[in-house]
Structure 1
Amino acid sequence: MLLVTVVGFLLKYFPVDAGLAVWLNGFHVGFVGALTSGVYHVFSPGPAILITLVVAGIIWLVRKDFRPALAFAGVVAVTWVPSDIVKLIVHRPRPDVALQPHHFVPVQVDASYPSGHMVFVVVLVVALVFVLRDTRWLGLSVALGTVLVVVVGLSLVIDAVHFPTDVLASVVWSLTVAPAVRVIGVDMIMPRLRFLDPKGAKRAIQP
């Protein structure tokens, strides 16, 4: 987390990928442009929260146990939300729309680094892999999740709403923070919370 933050400050004053951002924005035409803009809107904060709740609900229904669903939603939230704090601290400007051949509408005026969209998508995939790790669906989830991450990452830079380094930093953030949240929050803290253990809760209310 500290490394991602420090690198963000360096990139803020030395945007080494500014030229690459302009070149990639050149692909924002026709079907590709419509697709990448749609991807950006689908994974915006509001829909992202809804996606998390829906997936958590499905996990609850399938597993018939609220704890895996809670663990999934917790890993997503605790990994995703702090990245916005880093964004406020670093406050790297978005790619300059005056330099882009194709402007994204509406123009995004908040900070650029790291990408909240990318942090969310990567941690969504990672959290699903945690849930499915002991099932036959693990390989498929990894494959489809990788494709989703690549598509969203390319969409963000083609839209020119983020620099390529914003996207890469977001991938690093989620791949390192999410496992830490899993170990500390799910493996260490959740088993100690009696109200999350139906048997323990039943014992607690008995005289």
Structure 2
Amino acid sequence: MPSVKHAAPIPGAHSYILRADPRPRRTLIVAIVAVLVLTLLGFLLRSHAIDQSLSQAFNDAHVGALGVFTSAVYVAIGPGPAIVGTALIAVVIGFAGGNWRRAVAFAGVVALTWVPSDLVKILVDRPRPDAQLLAHPTLPAPVDASYPSGHTVFMVAFVIAALYLLAGTRWFRTGVVVGSVLVAVVVLSVVIDGLHYPTDALASVAWAVLVAPAARLVWVDWLLARFWPGRR
């Protein structure tokens, strides 16, 4: 009798992004504490720019091809392109996997992790690195606050949502590697451009990592499960 070869699992086949969190209380507590601590840290950093010299050192590298590249990265994942790109990826996920709940879950996790960070940005209101102290300032400089970095929060949230889809498949490890590279590129880009302090970027990574599970819990386990029940 010929052996049966099983097809390799496709990305998102196990729908980990739709699986209920076994420890929702802990997930919420971690997220709430993270938001409070990171917000307090933002106020402290607004009063004491401890990494001003480090910001200037990174900005010294904004020359030649590297400078062009980091500036392009910043523009490529601005709010407009980020929203459009996430929506398009969600559409691809929906068509490719035939499960639109999974696609909506992906987009929702990204949005619910990313958008609240802008509220903290408004609340903390940390100024951007002083352009007069930078060797290669980006002009015109953004007029909004610096902490946390929305670009960084978005990219980390995007990667985490993608890894939820890839969990349990042979693509997961590749996703971790590629996602880590993308996050590193964005972190270095916003700092080398002189648009964010290093602490802005690092706090943004921490925000997304600690808040994304709660965003998934609220969006998928509570809202989608109630208003759009379906297969996982």
- Structure 1: gaps (5+ residues): 199-207
Matched, 1:140 2:174: yes
Inter-partner Cα distance in structure 2 for 1:197 and 1:180: 21
Matched, 1:185 2:203: no
Deviation (angstroms), 1:108 = 1.5
Corresponding residue number in structure 1 for 2:71: 37
Corresponding residue number in structure 2 for 1:197: 230
Inter-partner Cα distance in structure 2 for 1:94 and 1:144: 29
Inter-partner Cα distance in structure 1 for 2:82 and 2:76: 7
Inter-partner Cα distance in structure 2 for 1:105 and 1:54: 30
Q: Relative contact order: is structure 1 or structure 2 higher (C-alpha 8 Å, sep ≥ 6)?
A: 2
Deviations 1:77-119 (A, max 9, x none): 1111110000000000000000000011221221000000000
Deviation (angstroms), 1:184 = 2.9
Matched, 1:5 2:31: no
Q: Aligned partner of 2:112: which letter? A: V
Inter-partner Cα distance in structure 2 for 1:196 and 1:74: 15
TM-score (norm 2): 0.83
Q: Among the aligned pairs, what percent are the same residue?
A: 50
Inter-partner Cα distance in structure 1 for 2:95 and 2:36: 38
RMSD of aligned Cα (Å): 1.1
Corresponding residue number in structure 2 for 1:204: none
Deviation (angstroms), 1:62 = 1.3
Deviations 1:145-193 (A, max 9, x none): 0000001100100000000000001000000110111123213432222
Corresponding residue number in structure 1 for 2:61: 27
Inter-partner Cα distance in structure 1 for 2:64 and 2:180: 25
The alignment covers a number of residue pairs equal to 197
Q: Counterparts in 2 of 1:99-138, with a 5 A limit?
A: 99-138=133-172
